[in-house]
């Protein structure tokens, strides 16, 4: 189980979102900030927040918060 509050704060910080725009089921393209550049910003922010390094071949597949959660749980 991952810390949902930590994940929420990381997403808000990565995309500079107002907290009311955060949704637990966000995915690439749902918000204008989550584009290809935003994807990398989010991944780096989550890696820093959770002290976890994603495998480089997994990063392009991490296109939703659900997939990111599943990957973090497997660590």
The full length of the chain comes to 75
Model confidence over 16-33: pLDDT tens digits?
999 999 999 999 999 999
Whether the Cβ atoms of residue 23 and residue 30 lie closer than 8 Å to each other: yes
**CATH no. for residue 24?**
1.10.1200.10
Q: Encoding tokens for residue 34?
A: 């989550």
- What is the total count of domains within the chain? 1
**Following DSSP, what letter does each residue of 2-59 receive, concatenated?**
--HHHHHHHHHHHHT--GGG--TT-BTTSSTT-SHHHHHHHHHHHHHHHT----TTTG
Range of the domain at 65: 4-74
* pTM across the whole model: 0.92
pLDDT given for residue 74 in this prediction = 87
Residue with tokens 């990957």: 71
* pLDDT at 12 (0 to 100): 98
């Amino acid at each position: 189980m991952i810390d949902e509050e930590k994940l929420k704060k990381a997403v808000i910080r990565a995309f500079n979102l107002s907290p009311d725009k955060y949704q637990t089921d966000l995915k690439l393209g749902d918000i204008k900030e989550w584009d290809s550049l935003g994807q990398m910003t989010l991944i780096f922010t989550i890696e820093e927040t959770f002290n976890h390094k994603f495998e480089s071949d997994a990063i392009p597949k991490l296109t939703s918060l659900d997939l990111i959660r599943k990957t973090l749980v497997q660590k």
